[in-house]
Amino acid sequence: MDVSDLASVRAVASELKGKPIDLLLNNARVGGPRGQTIGNIDYEVSARVLDVNTLGPIRVAEAFVDNVAQSERKLIVTITSGMGSIGDNTSGGAFAYRSSKAAVNMVMRSLAIDLAPRGITCVVINPGWVRTDMGGPHATLTTAQSVKRLRRLIDTLGPAQSGRFSSITTVANTPGRSRLIVGAIKSDTLIKHQSFGGETLTSDNVFGTVTRTLDFTRASRGCL
Ligand SMILES: NC(=O)c1ccc[n+]([C@@H]2O[C@H](COP(=O)([O-])OP(=O)(O)OC[C@H]3O[C@@H](n4cnc5c(N)ncnc54)[C@H](OP(=O)(O)O)[C@@H]3O)[C@@H](O)[C@H]2O)c1
C-alpha cells in the first residue's frame, strides 16, 4: 500500500478487518533531494517527505488500530532516525527528512498516551546506519544485522516502554577490538560517558552495537 494515499491504506485495512495484528511496523520513508538549503528549497518535495514519513505512520496507525487492539502484543513500532534529533544535529541540511523524523517521534509519543487505555504500546526505533538504498554501501550494519537486533529489541517491548525512543547504534571502533553490547542507558548523557555493567564505554575503545532506550524528551535534548 502507499502510505501517503488514505484510500490505499484504508483498502488494505478493510481487507484485514477483524484480524489481529501483533506488530504494526511503520518503516516506509522518502528522503527528498540532497543539498537543499536557503535559496534552493523545493517545497513540493519537502511536503511529500513530511506526507510519507510523518503523516504516513498516522494514516497507518489510524487505519489498523482496531487490529492492533485485538492482538496479544498490541505493538506499534515506527522506524525513526537519529537525524530527527535536534541536539544531535551538528551538520545541518536535510530540513525535510530531519523534520519528518522529529515530528514522527512526537506523533508516536502522543499516540502512546492516547492509546494506553487500549493497552497499545507505541515505540520509535532508530535502526542504526544500515546498508540499504538510503544508507548506502558504507553503512556499518547489513540489513540482516539491523533486522536481527530490531527483532531482539522488539521482543522486549511492552507497556512499560510505550512512548520511548530506542536506538541501535554502532559505536566507533578500534581495529582488532570487537564486542557486542546491548543494554539500556540510565541517563541522557552521551554514550562515551556511559557505564554498562560497571564498565565505561568510550567511543575509541569499543566496537559494537548498543541498544539505547531513552524517552523522547531526553532524546530531543540531544542524546540521539
Ligand atoms: N538505512 C539507514 O541507514 C537508516 C538510518 C536511520 C533510519 N532509517 C529508517 O529506516 C527505515 C527504512 O529505511 P531504508 O534504509 O530501508 O530506506 P530506503 O532504502 O529508502 O527504502 C524505503 C522504502 O520505503 C518505501 N516507500 C517509500 N514511499 C512509500 C510510500 N508512500 N508508501 C509505502 N512505501 C513507501 C520504498 O518502497 P519503494 O521502493 O517501492 O518506493 C522502500 O521500500 C526508514 O524509516 C528510514 O528513515 C534508515
Class of residue 211 by CB neighbours under 10 A (exposed 0-12, middle 13-18, buried 19+): buried
Instruction: Report how far Cα 78 is from the mean position of its chain's Cα atoms.
Output: 5
Pocket test for ligand 1, best of 27, 124, 154, 168 (most atoms within 8 A of CB): 27
Centre of ligand 1 to C-alpha 28, Å, is 4
CA distance 35 to 46: 12
What's the confidence (pLDDT) of residue 33?
Answer: 81
Query: Of 97, 165, 207, 216, which residue is the catalytic one?
Result: 97
CATH of 6-163, one of 3.40.50.720, 3.40.50.2000, 3.40.30.10, 3.20.19.10: 3.40.50.720
What's the confidence (pLDDT) of residue 35?
Answer: 86
What's the confidence (pLDDT) of residue 32?
Answer: 83
pLDDT digits (tens, 9 = 90+) for 151-205: 999 999 999 999 999 998 765 443 433 333 333 332 232 333 233 332 333 332 2
CA distance 217 to 105: 10
Q: Report domain extents, the chain.
A: 6-163
Angle between helices 56-69 and 95-115 (to 10 degrees): 20
Whole-structure pTM value: 0.83
pLDDT digits (tens, 9 = 90+) for 201-215: 333 223 334 444 444
Residues (pLDDT < 50) of the chain are 172-224
Does ligand 1 lie within 6 Å of residue 85's CB atom?
Answer: no
Q: Please say whether the beta carbons of 186 and 215 come within 8 A.
A: no
Contacts of 2-7 spanning 24+ positions with Cβ under 8 A: 3/28, 3/52, 3/56, 3/57, 3/59, 3/60, 4/48, 4/51, 4/52, 4/55, 4/56, 4/59, 6/59
Pocket test for ligand 1, best of 24, 80, 97, 134 (most atoms within 8 A of CB): 134
Residue 114 is classified by DSSP as H
Determine how many CB atoms are found less than 10 A away from the CB of residue 201: 20
Cell of 10: 484504508
